[in-house]
Structure 1
Amino acid sequence: MSRIKLSFLVATILTLLLLAFTVDAQSSADVVFDLEAYGNIVPGTDITTALANAWKDACASGRSSAIVIPGGTFEVREGNFAGPCKNRIDFQLGGTLRAPKALPGDNWIIFAHIDRLTVSGGGVFDGQGKEAWGKNDCHKRINCAQLPVSLRFNFITNSIVTRITSLDSKNFHINVLGCNNLTFHNINIIAPGNSPNTDGIHIGRSNKITITKSKIATGDDCISLGDGSRQIEVANVTCGPGHGISVGSLGRYTNEEPVEGVLVKNCTMINTTNGVRIKTWPGSAAGGTATDMHFLDIIMVNVGNPILIDQEYCPWNQCNRQVPSKIKISKVSFENIRGSSATPVAIKLICSRSFPCEEVKFRDIDLTPNGITGPITSQCTNVRPIVSGKQNPKICASPYQPPLNCSLNNSWNCSLS
């Protein structure tokens, strides 16, 4: 066979494979509800009503269905996409949905009570938050006005959110509540570092939530885990700017549920104010627990507070630090964490004097100073870490000897350079 004929045959096979993939992707749903069938869908127009009608029909379909939003930028005043639906449903966003600059309430787009939901398409949810950020006064008062969350996932099961971007949310980008077996994969979250309260993904009272292969740049926690977060896995996430990946804050409200089963691995923090942290309020409203939390294979690049347990978390002095936290932290591990610290105390473990931390383990920590003079140190209060492998900086205690420069008053209180 000649080289020309062989090249033609290869090209033909590749074309057929591409066509087969395209057809399969388009036909993965039995019924496609093209938004253009619900009105004059022209870029720049408001498609709120058309989206609501398409969702109503798709959700009522007994066959698997897909809503397809074409390329272009469209205005959406609000979106309330609720189930239960009769079959699985795909929400395919090809363009950009743009929120009003002024939006009442605390919601923009809500997906609720749906089983087997897919949100995908490569599109953008633009929260247009820049004008709203200046109205955020939560640093002044506890009961501040709540700005809208861009995307809420409430009571969603067996679902996936993939290949979407959340841009410039007014408040949290994504809020997850009461969900089970929900995956976020290949998500982009974008907001400047000075945008207040724009947590990337906040999870509460949810089970089996996975976040993988995503990039989060925002003005608050890249990922935050509230009470009731169970069996959470975060892997291959790049965070920065932002406040890092956090468990908490916990203990501010009554009737909070335990946090248990958290795994954060293979992540990179770049120029964040914190790395990985656990935070609870002093003067806790009620007791609680946070246990079985593991952080491994983390790269820190010029990160303030790379490793932090803070049981005196008290933003804007809106609490009483004299009353110790009632949240019990236990079974925590930090392993193979390396990179650079932008603050002198690279490892800070401030645990509750009423409920000292237990079973806090360190293995193979290698952090170096960046942009600061002198060595970096560790600080430990009301905790006796169990350490092995490399210790840079030296961590407050060893597995075989009592910690140095410590006093024992019902718990270990240590500070060691």
Structure 2
Amino acid sequence: MYGLRTVSNQYKHLTVNYSEVMSTTFCITLFSSWLLLASIVGAQSRPLDVRSFGAKGDGVSDISQALLSAWKAACNSPKPSTIVIPRGTFGLLQASLEGPCKAPIELQVQGTLKAPQNPNLIKDGEWVTIQYLDHFTLSGSGTFDGQGARAWAQNDCAKASDCSKLPNNFSFNFLNNSIISGITSLNSKLFHMNVLGCNNVTLSRLTITAPGTSLNTDGIHVGRSSGVNITDSTIGTGDDCVSLGDGSKQVSITNVVCGPGHGISIGSLGRYKNEEPVVGVFVRNCTLINTLTGVRVKSWPSATTGAATDVHFDDITMRNVTSPIVIDQEYCPNNQCTLGAPSRVKISKVSFNHIRGTSASALAVKLVCSKTFPCEGVEIGDIDLAYHGSLGNITTNCANVQPTFMGRQNPPICAKNNAAQSS
């Protein structure tokens, strides 16, 4: 924010007792500081309310053109600008907000935006696309409602590898030094947020919600981006709460509550040609509740090469998670691949530490690595998982991996397999 209040707070320490002013230098410094304050305040543009551009918060009228007009005004301004979508319910057919722009822009959303229920009305892209910007902020307590129920019924991805493309709620493409904070993404038709080609982007205090039965509604998907921070958010969807695709580098995921969904996943990797390595992922202090998997790294059995390295899961709580800890290099959903071809994705320097809670299945830990490229540098420490079901004792399954153990492991991990034997 570039508001007056922020600037005023910054300079509130400049209270002067004039009886103590003994130095001409001090007076000049004080005067210069107030000149700087005045110049900063003067540099602010007045907020651009979309209603001034024709938007109506009647729950029906489409504000696409009004939002685009406000965006063009802000983007062409040499001063930092704020666009405001106030409280109320607004229809939004589609929006593409693009840069580069002349100065930083904040889009502040307090109301509810509703997508068309019919996915066919959203043409050639996503519902909301924001791209090619530096120092962009999306903030507020507003809601982006993708109204995805009709689209979920059309989703055939569980049966066909070339399934139809449904629109995401958001595509954040090629953003630098930007912040996405406070908003709610509801019932997206496909992914809620797709982050592509971004650098130094923070996503914080988000609420992302869709039913557990909604197919492919990943909460946040990151690909070919670096310096992405996901923090202090609640995500419950029908797929991964957070998924990291190829080219994800230096990603931090902290204080995320996930569930329902498929957990926090690296991959899947190795499905497409020319994939870039995943390097530097740090998942800390997260809680997973009633999810299909907890924390996992997954790759397809195929001839495509790739890599995932320097990946760390630490201080994770599992509550009734079906598969709490997973490395799966035989990932092949709906028989869309050939299991006879081992994965050529190299997984190394992966650690699981301080992970506790309950498993919803007897198989609590699965570390199944590639025969061609066995996992290297896997570290396991302080695991405490319990299973209270009727399917026998809690177990683990390991193949093509020799972990290093530290601290306490409950259950004993890889003991039956002796950490090296293929199951």
Fold shared per TM-score above 0.5: yes
- Unpaired stretches in structure 1, ≥5 consecutive residues: 1-18, 398-403
Query: Are the equivalent residues in 2 in contact too, given 1:342–1:372 (CA < 8 A)?
Result: no
Calculate percent identity across the aligned residue pairs.
54
Alignment pair present for 1:80 and 2:99: no
Equivalent position to 1:103, from 96, 108, 119: 119
Give 1:58-69 correspondences, 5 Å limit: 58-69=74-85
How far 1:33 moved relative to its partner? Answer: 1.0
1:63 partner letter: K
How far 1:343 moved relative to its partner? Answer: 0.9
2:100 partner letter: P
Query: Are the equivalent residues in 2 in contact too, given 1:31–1:64 (CA < 8 A)?
Result: no
* Local SS of the residue matching 1:156: strand
Distance between the aligned counterparts of 1:40 and 1:234, measured in 2?
36
Counterpart of 1:34 in structure 2 is 49
Equivalent position to 1:362, from 380, 385, 398: 380
Counterpart of 1:384 in structure 2 is 402
Give 1:6-405 correspondences, 5 Å limit: 29-44=44-59, 45-104=61-120, 105-284=124-303, 286-396=304-414, 405=417
How far 1:374 moved relative to its partner? Answer: 2.6
Per-residue Cα deviation, 1:264-283 (whole angstroms, up to 9, x for no partner): 00000000000000000002
Query: Are the equivalent residues in 2 in contact too, given 1:117–1:159 (CA < 8 A)?
Result: yes
* Local SS of the residue matching 1:368: strand
2:98 partner letter: A
How far 1:85 moved relative to its partner? Answer: 0.7
Per-residue Cα deviation, 1:97-156 (whole angstroms, up to 9, x for no partner): 110111334411000000000001110000000111010001111111010011010000
How far 1:41 moved relative to its partner? Answer: 2.2
1:345 partner letter: L
Counterpart of 2:12 in structure 1 is none
Distance between the aligned counterparts of 1:175 and 1:22, measured in 2?
34
2:213 partner letter: N
Distance between the aligned counterparts of 1:65 and 1:21, measured in 2?
15
How far 1:21 moved relative to its partner? Answer: 7.2
Distance between the aligned counterparts of 2:403 and 2:341, measured in 1?
23
Query: Are the equivalent residues in 2 in contact too, given 1:240–1:269 (CA < 8 A)?
Result: yes
Counterpart of 1:401 in structure 2 is none
Query: Are the equivalent residues in 1 in contact too, given 2:55–2:62 (CA < 8 A)?
Result: no
Query: Are the equivalent residues in 1 in contact too, given 2:362–2:389 (CA < 8 A)?
Result: no
* Local SS of the residue matching 2:150: helix
Distance between the aligned counterparts of 1:294 and 1:254, measured in 2?
26
How far 1:23 moved relative to its partner? Answer: 9.4
Distance between the aligned counterparts of 1:113 and 1:68, measured in 2?
20
Distance between the aligned counterparts of 2:126 and 2:5, measured in 1?
39
Query: Are the equivalent residues in 2 in contact too, given 1:365–1:391 (CA < 8 A)?
Result: yes
> Runs of 4 or more off by more than 6 Å in structure 1?
21-24
How far 1:30 moved relative to its partner? Answer: 3.2
* Local SS of the residue matching 1:343: coil
TM-score by length of 2: 0.88
Query: Are the equivalent residues in 1 in contact too, given 2:85–2:110 (CA < 8 A)?
Result: yes
User: CA-atom RMSD, angstroms?
Assistant: 1.8
Distance between the aligned counterparts of 1:172 and 1:313, measured in 2?
20
2:302 partner letter: G
Distance between the aligned counterparts of 2:269 and 2:71, measured in 1?
36
Query: Are the equivalent residues in 1 in contact too, given 2:75–2:99 (CA < 8 A)?
Result: yes
How far 1:189 moved relative to its partner? Answer: 0.2
Query: Are the equivalent residues in 1 in contact too, given 2:254–2:283 (CA < 8 A)?
Result: yes
2:373 partner letter: F
Distance between the aligned counterparts of 1:138 and 1:330, measured in 2?
30
* Local SS of the residue matching 2:70: helix
How far 1:373 moved relative to its partner? Answer: 3.9
Per-residue Cα deviation, 1:269-327 (whole angstroms, up to 9, x for no partner): 0000000000000024x211100000000000000110000000000000000000000
Distance between the aligned counterparts of 1:114 and 1:128, measured in 2?
27
Distance between the aligned counterparts of 2:215 and 2:388, measured in 1?
26
Evaluate the alpha carbon distance shift between residue 363 and residue 39 of structure 1 in structure 2; reply closer, same or farther with a 3 A threshold: same
Distance between the aligned counterparts of 1:60 and 1:197, measured in 2?
37
TM-score by length of 1: 0.89
1:86 partner letter: K
Distance between the aligned counterparts of 2:139 and 2:228, measured in 1?
17
How far 1:22 moved relative to its partner? Answer: 12
Evaluate the alpha carbon distance shift between residue 35 and residue 313 of structure 1 in structure 2; reply closer, same or farther with a 3 A threshold: same
Distance between the aligned counterparts of 1:29 and 1:311, measured in 2?
53
* Local SS of the residue matching 1:139: coil
Query: Are the equivalent residues in 2 in contact too, given 1:376–1:393 (CA < 8 A)?
Result: yes
Distance between the aligned counterparts of 2:153 and 2:198, measured in 1?
32
- Unpaired stretches in structure 2, ≥5 consecutive residues: 10-40
